[in-house]
Amino acid sequence: MIMRVSIAVLLLSLAGDVLAQSGECHLAATGELSPERQKIFQSLRSDSALDQAAIQFNMALDYAQAGNSSKALSVLEQALSQAPWLDPSSEEAFKPLRGCAEFQKLVARVQQKYPPVAASRVVHTVPEKDLIPEGLASDPADGTLYISSVYHRKIVKITPQGRISNFVSEAQDGLLGALGLKVDPRDQSVWVASERAGQAALFHFDRNGRTLAKYAPEEKGKHLLNDLVITSQGDVFVTDSEDSSVYKLPHGSGKLVRLDLQKRPYPNGIALSGDEKSLYVAHAFGIVAMSLNGNEIHELTAPKDVSLAQVDGLYWRKGSLIGIQNGFGANRIVELRLAADGRGVSSGRLLEFRSSNLELPTTGTIYKDDFYYIVNTQVDHENDGKLTREETLQPVRIAVLPLR
């Protein structure tokens, strides 16, 4: 699910703003972040292993939302000094900066280094406009697709011939908003993470959509089970975005075991290495490699111009990670080539960037040499079971991106 944690709107009074000129635009020079928010950024900035460009980009967004466009531009210049692929042009919060020469130069530099990439094509359209999908999975046996619905609390199935039907009915056996899901290749059963209003559970359905089991965290507090992977032995690992953890369900067990992520904010996408010795877990400002027992955790390093932040869907493929980044900057699908030891990213490239097929993607799935993903999830139209701006909803589109 898209990381709402980093885009908190701070409504501060703009009365008495002092205006300072910069080129042909006027920049407001007052409006501060709350002490709590400043403390959070101070803590993040002290950890050099995190994606510092992304943290500064986030700070710039917060300053812009607080009304201090002068500070926002200054921090944004620092964020983009190494020219990462964080294109700020589409951010609504930066609208007051668009007439500024300095802002235009930043945008031009990013867009010159990273021109648009449009390699995907739409292959399926689901007519149900208010589906609000989030997760997408494929059956490795034949390419059948499964789509989870946040709003309708169900799972939709698309056959290789394009036939669309309900696989799991609405709210079946207490299913909450359906998020990440995976098909177990051993028996074609489907696992799905679900959440609504702080309650969460992991569901297991057989190949015909019948409910097999339901597992909920025993720890108190809010939970947001988000995305998951399954090992060849049948162990399931699922991220908890509210609890800063990964939960493990050992094969044959009925209890979720908590693996702590040491306060890393909003763990989301998760991938299993090819040798099944490591998990790669995306959080708000980076990606960690962790052992399957959770005892070893290492923050991935990356070149200065490659951003590891705000990854939603995350997938392993031939020594690389395929990621969907949608938190800030123009939405993009990226390939992150891993170093030989698996503890760093040696290089990165954009697979899809600033194209018409990146309205609001969240997750995808790899089938053979193709990456299928949801073009327009419209998850920004739903909040805990309530829809907003229903008149603007569109049929859901699924695109395919060749990975050859």
Q: Report the alpha-carbon distance of residue 404 to residue 401 in Å, rounded.
A: 9
Residue 280 C-alpha from the chain's centroid: 13
Strands (E), 206-331: 211-215, 225-230, 236-240, 245-249, 257-260, 270-272, 278-283, 286-291, 297-299, 311-317, 320-325
CB 148 within 8 A of CB 164: no
Domains of the chain by residue range: 4-113, 121-402
The answer to whether the beta carbons of residues 167 and 146 sit under 8 Å apart is yes
**How many angstroms separate the CA atoms of 176 and 153, rounded?**
5
Tell me the two tokens of residue 73. 């531009």
| Residue 310 structure tokens | 């705000």
Long-range contacts of 212-217 (CB under 8 A, 24+ apart): 213/254, 214/173, 214/174, 215/249, 215/254, 215/255, 215/256, 216/256, 217/243, 217/247, 217/256, 217/258
Q: How far apart are CA 276 and CA 396, in angstroms?
A: 33
Give the angle 159-160-165 at the CA atoms, nearest 5°. 15
Q: Measuring CA to CA, how many Å separate 291 from each of 1, 275, 278, 296?
A: 24, 12, 5, 5
At the topology level of CATH, where does 121-402 sit?
Neuraminidase (2.120.10)
Beta strands (DSSP E) in 44-198 are 121-126, 133-138, 145-149, 154-158, 164-168, 177-184, 189-196
What letter would DSSP give residue 397?
A: E
Q: What is the pLDDT of residue 25?
A: 85
Please compute Rg for the chain using Cα positions.
21
Record the tokens describing residue 80, joined without a space: 């983009």
CA distance 175 to 310: 27
**Per-residue confidence of the chain (404 residues) as pLDDT tens digits?**
765 444 333 222 222 333 333 346 878 888 899 999 999 999 999 999 999 999 999 999 999 999 999 999 999 999 999 999 999 999 999 999 999 999 999 999 999 999 999 999 999 999 999 999 999 999 999 999 999 999 999 999 999 999 999 999 999 999 999 999 999 999 999 999 999 999 999 999 999 999 999 999 999 999 999 999 999 999 999 999 999 999 999 999 999 999 999 999 999 999 999 999 999 999 999 999 999 999 999 999 999 999 999 999 999 999 999 999 999 899 999 999 999 999 999 999 999 999 999 999 999 999 999 999 999 999 999 999 999 999 999 999 999 999 98
**Helix segments in 143-211, DSSP class H:** none
Whole-prediction pTM: 0.93
